[in-house]
Amino acid sequence: MLTDLLSLAMGFATLCIVLAMLCCLVRLLVGPSAQDRVLALDTLWMCAMLLILMLGMRFGSLIYFEAALLIALTGFVSTVALAKFLMRGEVIE
């Protein structure tokens, strides 16, 4: 009973994350300004990390958690670089 409920909850959470990713993709492609696109890209990175974490819990493998950590670090660094580029016009000073 509890396993069925957990499986149902994980399926619902995965569906919600995929829908959030689709909304971020629309904002990334249609966004009216560059700042909106950077924010959508940052949220897309986070949703991808959460989706990989959900897959790691579903399949019970530790490699998914390491991949999620790499995606989180890459997403953070790229968001900082894009924000710095939008503010100053250059990334490396």
What percentage of residues in the chain have a pLDDT greater than 70?
Answer: 95
Contact 51, 11 (CB under 8 A): no
C-alpha atoms less than 13 angstroms from C-alpha of 45 in its C-beta half-sphere: 17
pTM over 0.85, yes/no: no
Contact 41, 82 (CB under 8 A): yes
Q: What is the pLDDT of residues 7-24, one digit of tens each?
A: 999 999 999 999 999 999
Residue 89 has pLDDT above 90, yes or no: no
Average pLDDT of 63-91?
Answer: 86
Q: What are the residues whose beta carbons fall under 8 Å from the beta carbon of 88, sequence distance 6 or more?
A: none
Average pLDDT of 36-49?
Answer: 91
| H or E element that contains 11 | helix 2-30
Q: What are the residues whose beta carbons fall under 8 Å from the beta carbon of 74, sequence distance 6 or more?
A: 45
